[in-house]
Amino acid sequence: MKKIIRVLGVTLSVLVLVSCSKDENNDPTTEVTESNLKGTYKYTSVSVQEAVDLNGDGVKNNDLKKEGYRTCTLDNNLEITETNYSFIMKGVSCSADETSLVFTYKLNKDEKTITLYDKGVFAGEITKVDFYNFNGLKTYNYQVYDDNLKQNVAYGMEAI
């Protein structure tokens, strides 16, 4: 009888451990909240759905880094606090008067959008916001419509 109880106890323990670990590891998506997004990020990717040729080499590409898209912007960092959304200028300057940009923002968790404000005035919208925290690696992805390209540009970022 003691053997049966011991076997049942071990079996139940293993089942509990396996069911808990599956829930944690299968889906690295984390709820998009101000607290989760908080951190400093660097750009890791920038792409579009419809390929473009921005550098005039005759080859269209979806990877905008290969096309030289905003190289003076993509070496900057993004810093998110619970109230501010800041582009911290680093690396190559786009212009002589370039300074860091600090916005306040409002996150709409349901629509996965971030609305930026400059001194209380609408300054832009970030859409399709996703946040992942998988094995300690925080990544943040979002899209912004580019009027010149006439399509959304998808940005990928990694916490530093």
Q: What is the pLDDT of residue 134?
A: 86
**Distance between CA 150 and CA 48 in Å, rounded?**
10
> How far is it, in rounded angstroms, from Cα 116 to Cα 108?
11
Distance CA 160, CA 143 (A): 20
Question: Which segments of the chain have a pLDDT < 50?
Answer: 1-25
Which domains occur in the chain, in start order? Answer: 34-159 (2.40.128)
Distance CA 103, CA 124 (A): 10
Angstrom distance (rounded) from CA 92 to CA 150: 26
The whole-number pLDDT of residue 156 equals 97
CB atoms within 10 A of CB 44: 14
**Alpha-carbon span 74 to 153, nearest angstrom:** 13
